[in-house]
Each structure stands twice: as structure tokens, then as C-alpha cells.
Copies of this chain bind each other. A is one copy, B any other.
Amino acid sequence: MLKVPDHQVAGHMAGAGALGPLVDDAGNFFKPLQSNERGAKEVAFYKGFSTETRIPYKIRKFFPVFRGTRDLEASDGSGLHPHLVLEDIVSSRTNPSIIDVKIGSSTWYPEASEQYITKCLKRDRDGTSLILGFKICGFQFYGNKETGFWKPDRKSVNAFTHDDVRSALRKFVSSNSPSDSDAEPDCSYASTVYGGPDGIVSQLLKLKSWFEDQTIYHFYSCSTMMVYDKESIMKGENPNPQIKLVDFAHVVEGKGIIDHNFLGGFCSLIKFLNDVLNNPNK
């Protein structure tokens, strides 16, 4: 019953000898606990968050539903392994376009070890995190029945520059072929996907308001997933644009201070999307 997810765009992927998440057909997403303390930290976050009474309902819906932990046969064939049981946020979709954006100019927290800080700082400077306040970690953009998805390998995405990021955020909402590097993205779907009262920017702004005030958590190295169905637009139906925060292995206590690292990067992402909305034709 368990299988490798069809629509994973970033993170460890299950495969021959590789530990990665699994899904079932009941809408569950099983994420193997990472073997170091990160796995335990992510479980602790989900447990705490699910019973945290200070989280408004309108904010809670931007997080995957947590359904506990379960020991399952690991995808790498190593035997039983503990997994987080989460809501599979794309199980109800057929050919979703997905982009995973890691938020924050800094992926390390002040209390981390010198070695960890040095490693992260180098990566944040090599990628776009430091410059833009966020980094695209992976994506799949649906083209059409013939072309299927455009899903560049991790290495190419990791090498994205400022211009590549801007271009990807335009291609995400364009009707023309996302994999054709000569085609100027037309941003035909920007107003439907990014704009409007139920669009992605509106959802991001709701989360932003919460981040301006909440001092419970600092979300280091956390991603915002943005998802919609291009096929639905082609059929004249609602593409159901949606955002979810994922990856909480590096959440630390807020201690009465807002998460200004996350918030700054989040505002930068919102500005990029507003630029697409306001200049669909460049």
C-alpha cells in the first residue's frame, strides 16, 4: 500500500538504498525521522504545535496536519524505522505544479555550533538565501499532457541565480512550456494563481501578519510549498492555489522575539510575486 510519492520536489527522496518519505492512498505522508537529533526535534515541534492553543485556526491551516508517528518498513530496506505521519498535501491533486522555497537569509540559528554555522553560512552565501532572503529548493512545473512536468535536477536548482529565481517564479504561472528556455514566460495565470482573495499572495500575507506578532517559534531552514493545478485552469476550473509550511527539524524557541529572519525573507518572496503580478509582461 505504501509507495514513493509522485510529487516530491525537494528533500531526501526514497529509492534503492535511500531513506525517503512514503505515501499511502488514504492521504498520509510518512516522513522518516532523520537519524540525528533532527528527527526528534521535528517530532517535538509537531507534537507541541498540535496542542499549542495560541495558534489561530486561520494560521494552523498553513501547516500539514500531524497524525502522530509510526514504525514502518523503511524505503531503503533497512527494516522498521520511525516515521512522522502527516497529511499528504498533494494527494488530492492529479498533476500539481509545485515549488518549494526555503525561507530566511540565514539557515543557522545563533546557538548552533561553530562548525554548523560555518557550513550553513557558506551555503547561504553560495545560493540565493543571503541575497534574496529565500532559496528555491526544488519544483515541478506542469506543461501539458505531451510534455508532462519540467523538473530540473537538484544541482541545477541549487545553482540558481537571482535572475533564475525571478524567471522560475514567472514560469510557475505561465501557460507556455516551462522547459523551453527560449520561450518568454507569458505569466497568463499570475492573476489567478498569485492574485485574488484566495490566491497565493493573499495567503502569504495572512501568514506574514502572524509572523509580525508571533514570538513562540523561530523557523530556521523551513520551506513554503506553493501548489496549484494548471490542468484545472485549462478546463476553466479553480486551480486551488495553496501554500503550506513544511520542514521543522530546525525550529527553535522564539523567546519573546519575532522570527525576523523568516519574516524578512518572506516579505522578499512576497515582493517577487507582486512584481510578477504587477508586470506580467515584464
Quick one: given A110-B131, A130-B110, are A258 and B268 in contact (CB under 8 Å)?
yes
Contact of A162 with B by CB under 8 A: yes
Binds B, one of A43-51, A152-160, A259-267: A259-267
What's the number of copies of this chain in the assembled complex? 2
Residue of B nearest to A266 (CB): B260
Contact of A133 with B by CB under 8 A: yes
The answer on a CB contact under 8 Å between B261 and A212 is no
| Residues 238-280 of A contacting B (Cβ, < 8 Å) | 255-258, 260-261, 263-265, 267-268, 270-271, 275
Contacts of A74 in B (CB 8 A): none
Contacts of A255 in B (CB 8 A): 162
Residue of B nearest to A265 (CB): B260
For A132, A258, A265, the residue with the greatest tally of chain B CB atoms inside 10 Å of its CB is A258
Instruction: Report how far A265 CA is from B267 CA in the complex, Å.
Output: 12
Contacts of A125 in B (CB 8 A): 110
Contacts of A106 in B (CB 8 A): 105-106
SS class of chain A's interface: helix, strand, loop or mixed? helix
The answer on a CB contact under 8 Å between A261 and B258 is no
Contact of A213 with B by CB under 8 A: yes
Contacts of A34 in B (CB 8 A): none
Contacts of A105 in B (CB 8 A): 106, 260-261
CB-contact partner of A132 in B133, B213, B257, under 8 A: B257
Contact of A69 with B by CB under 8 A: no
Q: How far is the CB of A33 from chain B (nearest CB, A)?
A: 29
Contact of A91 with B by CB under 8 A: no
For A105, A106, A268, the residue with the greatest tally of chain B CB atoms inside 10 Å of its CB is A268
Instruction: Report how far A125 CA is from B112 CA in the complex, Å.
Output: 12
| Residues 202-228 of A contacting B (Cβ, < 8 Å) | 212-213, 215
Instruction: Report how far A166 CA is from B215 CA in the complex, Å.
Output: 14
Contacts of A270 in B (CB 8 A): 212
Residue of B nearest to A271 (CB): B258
Q: How far is the CB of A260 from chain B (nearest CB, A)?
A: 3
| Residues 111-149 of A contacting B (Cβ, < 8 Å) | 125, 130-133
Q: How far is the CB of A127 from chain B (nearest CB, A)?
A: 11
Q: How far is the CB of A126 from chain B (nearest CB, A)?
A: 11
Instruction: Report how far A146 CA is from B235 CA in the complex, Å.
Output: 78
12 CB < 8 A contacts A-B: A110-B131, A131-B257, A133-B260, A166-B256, A213-B271, A257-B268, A258-B271, A260-B264, A260-B265, A263-B264, A263-B267, A264-B264
